[in-house]
Amino acid sequence: MAKKYKGQGTELFGKSLSEEALVEQWCEVEGQSYNSPASTIMYQILFVPMRGGTTDEAVVEMNVEKVVKVLDIYEERLSKSKYLAGDFFSLADLQHLPTTQYLVTACGKGDLISSRKHVKVWWEDISCRPAWKKVSEKAP
Q: To the nearest whole number, what is the mean pLDDT of the chain?
A: 95
Confidence of residue 90 (pLDDT cuts 50, 70, 90): very high
Spatial separation of the C-alpha atoms in residues 106 and 117, rounded to whole Å: 22
Q: Mind listing the domains of the chain with CATH numbers?
A: 17-138 (1.20.1050.10)
Spatial separation of the C-alpha atoms in residues 97 and 62, rounded to whole Å: 22
pTM of the predicted model as reported, rounded to 2 decimal places: 0.92
Spatial separation of the C-alpha atoms in residues 109 and 100, rounded to whole Å: 9
| pLDDT tens, position by position, 25-81 | 999 999 999 999 999 999 999 999 999 999 999 999 999 999 999 999 999 999 999
| Contacts of 14 by beta carbon, 8 Å cutoff, 6+ apart | 20, 22, 23, 85, 86, 88, 90
